């Protein structure tokens, strides 16, 4: 198939989160499967710092944004280690800024206008370059207008009338909601501003627009696809998603096994695999303890945490459990990340009070993130919600046993060490249901007891995690199947019109 993937983030050009990892890796894997893929993203200021060459083209264009025509230019690059073409849509006014979406804790006031322009530009370049596209894969609210334009405006226009669309929801909490008059910027008829399609409690909702008009919708894990159809995790869009449930599915993200591989990871003090994980993890554990100012002790369990210090990540659970354990349990904690000031402040206070048991690095360090995955015994992810999650997969690939709340992708990847799962030989971690500190503490206590008292069971958990295939290859095959299925149904529907 000929696939166009559009995203507001693509690694290594621009990144704020997991969206960039998906959109930087999936196209390469699809190419390996024999599909033709082109990628589109905005030419942010950050792309100038990318580690891959970028060249200017002679392609210029003008597209309508509201009542004006806005000009842009096309740049070209390639995804690393591939022949996948990346087109970068350049407009200095919209994209030559310090950040991708906002500054000083707030969004840019013209974000709707910026991404209307981007979506219009993507569609215009298809025509200008005579790209033969079978399917457009849009990602999150920033590109969710692409399915809307295809169905509402270009449905009978060459070369767009035969292009199907898939919308991936990476995190439903971010929807692209704007005041209703921004509907004028889209150029779409006001008739679409209704509760079934583009309107959301009096606002324009770009993600809802994509949900309404995409030929297929998917999320980044099967469980999350079910959760977002509930009032608890639907963020007001559960009705729209229930209405499209027949074309809604979930595909787990994979991990980049060239980057996250303990056998070749350059950030480790010793590389290792499933055959020598005890020696390898012991060496990296000692390095981690030394680097983080902890007592070097091979027997004490090390609990690792990497990521944003945000309520979504379960910090209201972690902090009371951490404080209690620091005072009463012989275990060590290692934390890397930044986030909400109240969580950072609480961690700094706990570190001062419990030197030698708690190591904290309030920054983001890629080398330290890799060392924590290799040197920790347990990895903690008690998320309130987690569309997919990658760290639990990184952890298992590195032989670090995850302790997670059973939600989203965490539920789809971590098999709790129940008596039944252990007996069946399939357990790879520990999980709990209730979003409560007590539930986290019980699960963590069970994990530490297993680590200290059941070495054979612990080895099973470690080796099950390390032997599993967490790569993008399997996920890419599922996306290819989704594209094929969507295109077939789309063509069948067109024939009946």
pLDDT the model gives residue 497: 58
Lowest mean pLDDT of 102-106, 235-239, 317-321, 397-401, name the range: 102-106
Q: Which of 103, 96, 84 is nearest to 47 (CA)?
A: 96
In a domain, 91, yes or no: yes
Residue 496 has pLDDT above 80, yes or no: no
Computed over every residue of the chain, the mean pLDDT equals: 96
CB 373 within 8 A of CB 379: yes
φ and ψ at residue 74, rounded to 5 degrees: -105, 130
pLDDT band at 308 (very low <50, low <70, confident <90, very high): confident
Residue 387 has pLDDT above 80, yes or no: yes
Rounded CA-CA distance 138/148 in Å is: 11
Residue 357 shares a structural domain with residue 392: yes
In a domain, 353, yes or no: yes
Rounded CA-CA distance 25/380 in Å is: 25
In a domain, 324, yes or no: yes
* Residue 309 domain boundaries: 274-469
335: its two tokens: 């934390």
pLDDT band at 105 (very low <50, low <70, confident <90, very high): confident
Show Cβ contacts of residue 227 under 8 Å, excluding neighbours closer than 6 positions.
233, 385, 407, 408
Q: Which of 158, 418, 452 is nearest to 298 (CA)?
A: 452
pLDDT band at 494 (very low <50, low <70, confident <90, very high): confident
Q: What residues pair up with 248 in beta bridges, in sequence order?
A: 217
Residue-wise pLDDT tens digits, 138-194: 999 999 999 999 999 999 999 999 999 999 999 999 999 999 999 999 999 999 999
Asked if residue 158 has a cis previous peptide bond (ω within 30° of 0), the answer is no
Per cent of the chain over pLDDT 70 is 100
Residue-wise pLDDT tens digits, 276-306: 999 999 999 999 999 999 999 999 999 999 9
Residue 311 shares a structural domain with residue 339: yes
Residue 310 shares a structural domain with residue 386: yes
Q: What does the DSSP assignment read for 356-371?
A: TTEEEE-S--HHHHHH
H helix runs in 292-340, sequence order: 315-328
Residue 282 shares a structural domain with residue 402: yes
Q: How many CB atoms lie within 10 A of CB 223?
A: 21
Whose tokens are 């800024």? That residue is: 97
Q: What is the 3-state secondary structure (H, E, C) of 396-415?
A: HHCCCEEEEECCHHHHHHCC
Residue 149 shares a structural domain with residue 199: yes
In a domain, 300, yes or no: yes
Q: DSSP assignment, residue 111?
A: H
Distances (CA, A) of 146 to 8, 211, 408: 13, 11, 26
Residue 110 shares a structural domain with residue 185: yes
In a domain, 261, yes or no: no
The CATH number of whichever domain residue 412 belongs to comes to 3.40.50.2000
pLDDT band at 493 (very low <50, low <70, confident <90, very high): confident
Residue 31 has pLDDT above 90, yes or no: yes
pLDDT band at 90 (very low <50, low <70, confident <90, very high): very high
In a domain, 268, yes or no: no
């Amino acid at each position: 198939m000929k696939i166009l993937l559009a995203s507001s983030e693509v690694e290594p050009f621009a990144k704020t989160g997991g969206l960039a990892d998906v959109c930087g890796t999936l196209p390469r894997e699809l190419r390996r499967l024999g599909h033709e893929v082109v990628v589109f993203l905005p030419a942010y200021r950050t792309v100038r710092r990318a580690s891959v060459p970028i060249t200017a083209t002679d392609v210029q264009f003008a597209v309508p944004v509201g009542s004006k025509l806005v000009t842009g230019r096309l740049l070209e690059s390639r995804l690393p280690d591939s022949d996948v073409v990346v087109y970068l849509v350049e407009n200095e006014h919209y994209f030559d800024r310090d950040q991708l979406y906002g500054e000083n804790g707030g969004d840019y006031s013209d974000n709707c206008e910026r991404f209307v322009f981007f979506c219009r530009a993507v569609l215009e370049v298809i025509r200008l370059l005579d790209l033969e596209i079978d399917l457009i894969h849009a990602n999150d609210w920033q590109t969710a207008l692409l399915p809307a334009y295809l169905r509402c405006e270009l449905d009978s226009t060459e070369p767009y009338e035969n292009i199907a669309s898939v919308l991936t929801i990476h995190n439903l909490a971010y929807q692209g909601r704007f005041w209703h008059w921004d509907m004028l910027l889209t150029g779409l008829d006001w008739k679409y501003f209704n509760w079934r399609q583009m309107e959301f409690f009096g606002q324009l909702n770009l993600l809802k627009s994509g949900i309404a008009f995409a030929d297929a919708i998917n999320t980044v894990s099967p469980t999350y696809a079910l959760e977002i159809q509930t009032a608890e995790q639907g963020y007001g869009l559960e009705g729209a998603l229930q209405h499209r449930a027949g074309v809604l599915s979930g595909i787990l993200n994979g991990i980049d096994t060239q980057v996250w591989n303990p056998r070749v990871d350059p950030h480790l003090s010793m590389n290792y695999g499933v055959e020598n994980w005890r020696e390898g993890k012991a060496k990296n554990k000692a390095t981690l303890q030394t680097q983080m100012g902890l007592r070097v002790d091979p027997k004490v369990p090390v609990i690792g945490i990497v990521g944003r210090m945000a309520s979504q990540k379960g910090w209201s659970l972690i902090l009371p459990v951490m404080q209690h354990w620091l005072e009463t349990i012989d275990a060590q904690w290692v934390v890397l990340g930044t986030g909400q000031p109240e969580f950072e402040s609480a961690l700094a206070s706990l570190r001062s009070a419990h030197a030698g048991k708690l190591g904290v690095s309030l920054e983001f360090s890629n080398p330290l993130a890799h060392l924590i995955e290799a040197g920790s015994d347990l990895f903690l992810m008690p998320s309130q919600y987690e569309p997919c999650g990658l760290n639990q997969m990184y952890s298992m690939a590195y032989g670090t046993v995850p302790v997670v709340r059973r939600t989203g992708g965490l539920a789809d990847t971590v098999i709790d060490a129940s008596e039944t799962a252990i007996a069946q030989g399939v357990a790879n971690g520990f999980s709990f249901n209730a979003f409560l500190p007590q539930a986290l503490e019980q699960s963590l206590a069970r994990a530490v007891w297993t680590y200290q008292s059941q070495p054979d069971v612990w080895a099973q958990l470690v080796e099950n995690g390390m032997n599993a295939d967490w790569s993008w290859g399997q996920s890419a095959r599922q996306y290819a199947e989704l594209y094929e299925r969507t295109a077939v149904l789309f063509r069948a529907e067109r024939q009946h019109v």
